[in-house]
Amino acid sequence: MKKPSLIWRWAWRELFHGQLWPVVAALSLIIACVFALSALANRIEQGLTQQGRAMMAADLTLRTTTSPLDASVLTALNDLDVDRSTQTRFNTMVFSQDKMQLVSVKAVDGQFPLRGDLELQGSNIQNKVKPGELWLAERLFTLLDVKMGDPVDIGDVTLRVSGKIVTEPELSFNPFNQMPSVLMHQSQVGEAGVVRPGSRVSYRYFFRGEDSALQDVRTTVPDQPGYRWTDENDSSTTGEMLDRSRGYLSLTVVLVIIMAAGTLLLTSQHYVESRTDILAMVKSIGARKAWVRNWLFRQLLLMFSLAITFGLATGAGLEYLLRLPLTDVLPDPLPSYGIIPWILGPAVAVLVSMPALGIPLMRLTNAPAISVLQSQALPPARKNPWSWMLAAIPCIALVAWSYDNQLMWLVLAALVLMLSLLAALGVGILGLARRHVKHPSLRLALSRITRNPAASGAQLGALATSFMLLSIIWLLRTDLLDDWQQTLPANAPNVFAINIAKDELNDYLGELDGNQLDRSEAYPVIRGRLVAKNGVDYNLSEPNEGRRDESLRRELNLTWQETLPSHNVLLEGSWPEKGGVSVEEGIANRLGLKLGDTLTFMVNSQRFDANVNSIREVEWRNMKPNFYFIFDPDLVASLPANWLVSFRLEGSQTDLVNQLGREFPTVTLMDLRTMSGRIQSILRQISLSLSVLAGLAVVSGLLLLLTLLRISLAERAREIMLYRTLGASKKSINTTLWAEYGIMALVSGCMAVGGAELAMASLLKWGIELPVRLHPEVWLSLPPLAVTLVFVTVAMMIRQLLQPLKS
């Protein structure tokens, strides 16, 4: 058997007994992190997408309030590779033997739902609606005083009650448009005779299929006024959460790559510095540059082979460990992450290693042979055109991959800016401190740090940037979760009561307070239209109704209040004075409304004017009563109104819904507990996902920090020997080292706080559009944490560094 050549044996020796194992570890870290994060992010995104689609009962939904789709369009849709379900929705009165009730009828076919769960409980459990069946929301049994098998009339058709609706997808957030729902089969709508010309009916078409087929559906259906397409990104409040969580996942992957690349770069440079003299000696005994390149190439081949093997194996195990906390919230069966992570991990490692590993090794091949006799500096990388090319390749790949990820580019821009500013600021602070410190050990520590401003600035900037990245990842996660928790807090109202008459308002509120329910204040509600601005009717300014804003095509819920609602924020103006109206920010922007405009409204055929006196910010996702327009009470209080109140019911208080329905039969109760629970489930899933990913990113940052300190301490070995030779005591050297690294940790921690706050301000304002705020918790915790981490790391390494001092 042929023995391996000398060059291979030396390559193996360098790999296992030299300085290359940290390079293999850094490459393995990049591959493992990219694999684990991309695979987990893929699964999380698929899970979140499935949750979003389950809440809309399909992959894609078309809603029209004008007319059903033409037969020719439906025929064309039959040729596409998609599943389709049709629903007709309308409000009507239903009649039992003794009572009647206004309900929301959902007439569905046998395919509904295409996504999500529909659970119907009758003589047995089923999940499809069949002809001849009528399924009721639970409280309708009380309101109509019926039981299973009793007849209920809907228009001209009589249906037997088949059972109750336990769970259903496609739940809405608008409390004003919800009524107790019933399910019947689509085929019996015509027989009922309740849908006639002029009836207020909406038609919904549900589609399920591949993304390309769904795009074909959009193309096949002609664009018409009144048509509205909905997918999982905009079907509900979860759409915004999905977008922001995707951006955070992508950002976390990129920052982990950056920190792992920093680890690789530092390790590679340390290896080059440690092998310069060896390569110079090899060249001095006759080795040519081609031989050196061949030697380095074989080492690279070995490194990448081992790194890919260990990295992929570690990444697969890491992905499994990361999703263990998410077992209860990830979909079952678990979606596959495909082949992309297996390719992406090694590809990213190769791209990152081109400049991080390639440029130092190219400099190493140019090590002059004369370095054996006299130390010579390696030629700078900037003079080699290949260095620029190697640095450009991963940059081009990053642009091609994430050119549209605004969140990531904001962080990278802030990172580059902060690195320069923090390095310069740190050197300036330490230089100023050096002039005023008198203690010998502190003066020596400051002298060592500031002796080479460029090197000191780079080291301080690298430490500060590491702490800053860790802070950004954690603070961004915290701000996102805080925003979502405020959107739907644990005590959010989950039941709305509307149509409360004024003469029964006090009794109704007294019943709620008597049962110790957490409720909102009561709001009067009138229905009206916005018809003109500054004397110009919208009918004249935009004759085509289909092109007008949605708020101009329907009646709006209007109210009046003497004080600003506690969950609204006043942005401009003052609370409405006499004859004034407060306008929600979103509709003000869409309609071009500003302070001082005169708006004309129509309520019950009565027109009246109101001046815009204020603009409010409204959080529509918090499931509290919110309104586009809030009037001065003196302006509209004389108009007939019903009242609205929201409150929270716990799971053990279900019977109270039926009790309120019996005592106040004219009040409409909308029970949103199922929908609220669903949103809370998605929030828990996103929270766990972001926490797991943030934790992994923190681990990557700590590895970068360890590498920085390990290399820095290794550079101190010769200086410590020199100090010892000159007579310095072990105590003096020990004190100086602790002072040096303590000062560096404290300064870099303080700089990281400022950098993180500036970066977070940019991210919150322009990246994810959240309110900008300071984070006092990071000011108090990060500098001490930085000092603690550095001291713990130094303590693990300093004993070996001071070993030569022992007698």
d(CA 432, CA 436): 7
3-state secondary structure 60-75: EEEEECCCCCCHHHHH
Query: What pLDDT, on a 0 to 100 scale, did the predictor assign at position 366?
Result: 66
Measuring CA to CA, which residue among 176, 169, 198 is closest to residue 58?
169
d(CA 754, CA 752): 5
Asked if 214 contacts 59 with a C-beta cutoff of 8 angstroms, the reply is yes
d(CA 674, CA 171): 9
Query: What pLDDT, on a 0 to 100 scale, did the predictor assign at position 3?
Result: 46
Query: What pLDDT, on a 0 to 100 scale, did the predictor assign at position 2?
Result: 44
d(CA 334, CA 585): 42
Cβ-Cβ contacts under 8 Å for 637 (sequence gap 6 or more)? 524, 560
Asked if 114 contacts 83 with a C-beta cutoff of 8 angstroms, the reply is yes
How many CA atoms does the CB half-sphere of 374 hold within 13 Å? 1
Query: What pLDDT, on a 0 to 100 scale, did the predictor assign at position 134?
Result: 92
Query: What pLDDT, on a 0 to 100 scale, did the predictor assign at position 246?
Result: 61
Measuring CA to CA, which residue among 531, 509, 420, 433 is closest to residue 465?
420
Distances (CA, A) of 194 to 154, 161, 316: 8, 19, 58
Asked if 579 contacts 637 with a C-beta cutoff of 8 angstroms, the reply is no
Copy the structure tokens of residue 401: 């991959």
**DSSP label at 333?**
S
Partners of 600 in the beta sheet?
532, 609
- In single-letter form, the type of residue at position 626 comes to N
Partners of 645 in the beta sheet?
497
Asked if 585 contacts 619 with a C-beta cutoff of 8 angstroms, the reply is no
Measuring CA to CA, which residue among 428, 420, 471, 460 is closest to residue 743?
460
3-state secondary structure 603-655: ECCEEEEEEEEEEEEECHHHCCCCCCEEECHHHHCCCCCEEEEEECCCHHHHH
d(CA 136, CA 179): 12
Q: In the chain, where are the structural domains located? A: 1-55+240-404, 56-231, 405-487+675-807, 495-674
**Mean pLDDT, each 10-residue run in order, the chain (807 residues):** 54 60 76 81 72 77 83 88 90 86 88 86 87 87 87 90 84 56 89 77 89 88 80 56 62 71 73 68 69 74 86 86 66 76 87 77 66 54 65 74 66 69 70 71 68 63 73 73 64 79 87 85 88 85 66 83 84 81 89 90 86 86 81 83 85 73 75 65 64 67 69 68 70 74 79 78 67 78 81 69 51
Query: What pLDDT, on a 0 to 100 scale, did the predictor assign at position 79?
Result: 86
**CB atoms closer than 10 angstroms to residue 451:** 9
Cβ-Cβ contacts under 8 Å for 494 (sequence gap 6 or more)? 623, 648, 649, 671, 672, 673, 676
Query: What pLDDT, on a 0 to 100 scale, did the predictor assign at position 249?
Result: 65
Query: What pLDDT, on a 0 to 100 scale, did the predictor assign at position 259?
Result: 72
Query: What pLDDT, on a 0 to 100 scale, did the predictor assign at position 690?
Result: 64
**CB atoms closer than 10 angstroms to residue 352:** 25
Query: What pLDDT, on a 0 to 100 scale, did the predictor assign at position 330?
Result: 64
CA 776 to chain centre: 23
pTM: predicted TM-score of the whole model, two decimal places: 0.58
